[in-house]
Amino acid sequence: MSELLANRYELGAIIGTGGMSEVYSAQDTLLGRQVAIKMLRPDLARDINFRERFRKEAKNSSLLNHPAIVATYDTGECEQNGLEIPYIVMELITGRTLREVLADSGALSPEQAARILIPVCDALQSSHDTGIIHRDIKPANIMITNTGSAKIMDFGIARALNDVTSAMTQTSTVIGTAQYLSPEQARGKTVDARSDVYALGCVLYEMVTAKPPFEGESPFSVAYQHVQDDPVAPSEFLKELSATAALNIDAVVLTAMAKHPGDRYQSTTDLAQDLKRLERNAVTEAARHYVQPTHQVEDEPAAEVTEVNTTALAAQSAKHKTKKSRLSPLPIVLLVVLLGASSVIGYELFRGAESKKVEAAMVQIPQLQTVPQADAVKRLEQLGLRVNTTEEASQDIPRGNVIRTNPAFGSSVQRDSTVTLAISSGKEITETPDLTGLSIEAAAQVLTDAGLQLDPVVREDSSDSIPENSIMEQAPAAGSQVSKGSKVAITVSTGVATERIPIVTGLLRDQAQENLTALGFNPHIEYVDSLEPKDTVISVDSEGAQLPKGTTVTVKVSNGMLIKMPNITRLNTDDALKALRGAGWEGGAAQLKIGSPVKTAVILDRGLIAEQGTAPGSTIRKDAAINARLYEFDILALG
């Protein structure tokens, strides 16, 4: 298919299809760039609801400007068979959808999944700040570019928070993809940004387990499960994870997927913060408040149950009283009492009274990570322990808070023992290396070696000096003092920008130079012999071709030195000179070269030009010498 939309966009092949649209590759002939054009399917264009939905997508998309959202450049309508077909001109992304990545590669590690979704969260927060909810977040709507960055696309059913006019946004309408529907969407209730948080939880679940949280024979049965059922914890499918890692991924996913919006992360920014912790294997905020199901703690020592679960219970009881998947206060209290009692009875029966005295002299190191130094010292001293402190830099723990204890949390030690607290001195400062000219892969390694991270959002721009696919800009700049762990954003060169050489043949030299210079070319003027008036452009190298800006373009300009040779035969030399000068010849009388005479018997022809060296109509230079022969009367010629 090769058509020109709006006298600008040359359509190529179909590169994607959806429920209501087809996507074409296209060339923007005005700006000379590749784009993607999304068009409503003609069979749906007759339906006003589909047209309205498509127009809303165009409107919503045009309001969004974020590097992790597929950019919208233009919108319009074209006529096909009497129908007005709306279309959207978008950024052309080279890559695969997250759905294709998962189909090819299977489950990702929690760290990989977090790394991909962090910019998605940032993009959705930008959308929410604009007042737009996506409502259809799923792997098929997340693109992974060839550079590894993620981009959200398809705001086809997105809704503005203040939009109460459209029939498509009424609370009784269920819109979305069943496997990623929030409970409130499944019920047809009003949704807000937390519905996108729920969908991200479902996507994260699928990324780490290679299966959606709920499956069924029909979309209805899947939607019903979103409303009624608790998902199997993702760690059940990830047996290779440590207990801490399992708790981390379960807490993040199941908090995002909480049935009630008030129990979820309250924004995608909050979710992104925990994903950053998940990416670097730090304890997530969700994990700090997460109460594990009974079967996950039954086999642990009573002391650990007391320390972990009673703390988590205190954090949870005020906010999450009704969650089915977490233990209610009474079973936890009973479990602690029973396990504690059985431990005491066991010691009395098998160890005797003296062992009981030894146990009484032992204390357990509490969990103090992230606790302020003064509070940590106070707690340890209350347990009868001595305290030493050391300082070290930490990327995760705020300055003045505990990084770890030695002995470690959970260890049993005698009273009056010494415990060393490693206290955070804050993030270590480092200097940003110069990434200019490096490839993305090389830059990532250089940053890793410096204790920094490469921002996954990679920008692109043209450059006259930096080769294609090499880094041309970075932020912060090289030499900046930053905290270790900071991200460095980069802009990668797409090579020298190109332009089409304009048609300037026939123009005067000055106008041609101005036109070429304005487009970034360097005109090189060469004067050539020509019949055209002086300073007229005769030809331009590669005229009309697409060439890099800065290219030197040879422009051949007429010097006006050519004329057409007039007929000077049967004229005397004076009249011949007049005829030549009338034709533009600039030579002098001496340049009219008279050769050997031609004999004639006609006395009246004497002194007239009998022959001219250059035939009439021939092209000659204005300063060329002219050869001619005159008639000479010769009586003998009568013979």
* Closest of 83, 78, 80 to residue 8, by C-alpha: 78
* Residue 10, token pair as written in the block: 């040359």
Contact of 494 with 467, CB cutoff 8 Å: no
* Residue 144, token pair as written in the block: 């992974």
- The reply to whether 43 belongs to the active site is no
* Total residues found in the chain within this entry: 639
Q: Which long-range contacts (CB under 8 A, 24 or more apart) does 441-446 make?
A: 443/471, 443/490
Dist. CA 301–CA 298, nearest whole Å: 8
CA distances from 450 to 23, 277, 454, 510 (A): 42, 20, 11, 54
CA distances from 182 to 155, 167, 261 (A): 17, 20, 9
Q: Which helix (H) or strand (E) segment is 88 a member of?
A: strand 83-91
CA distances from 128 to 133, 178, 294 (A): 6, 22, 37
Dist. CA 609–CA 571, nearest whole Å: 5
Helix/strand number for the chain, H first, E second: 16, 33
Contact of 207 with 102, CB cutoff 8 Å: yes
Residue for token digits 């695969």?
A: 96
Q: Of these residues, 136, 154, 250, 455, which one is catalytic?
A: 136
Dist. CA 414–CA 431, nearest whole Å: 45
* Closest of 388, 427, 382 to residue 406, by C-alpha: 388
The set of residues, in sequence order, having a beta carbon less than 8 Å from that of 367 and lying 6+ positions away, is 307, 308, 311, 409, 410
Dist. CA 72–CA 53, nearest whole Å: 16
Q: What DSSP letter does each residue of 332-345 carry, written as one string?
A: HHHHHHHHHHHHHH
Strand, helix or coil at 465? coil
Strand, helix or coil at 400? coil
| Pairing of β 626-633 and β 592-594 | parallel
| Pairing of β 83-91 and β 33-40 | antiparallel
* Closest of 239, 201, 213 to residue 120, by C-alpha: 201
| Pairing of β 362-364 and β 626-633 | unpaired
| Pairing of β 159-160 and β 132-133 | antiparallel
Strand, helix or coil at 100? helix
Dist. CA 350–CA 84, nearest whole Å: 88
Which residues carry out catalysis?
136
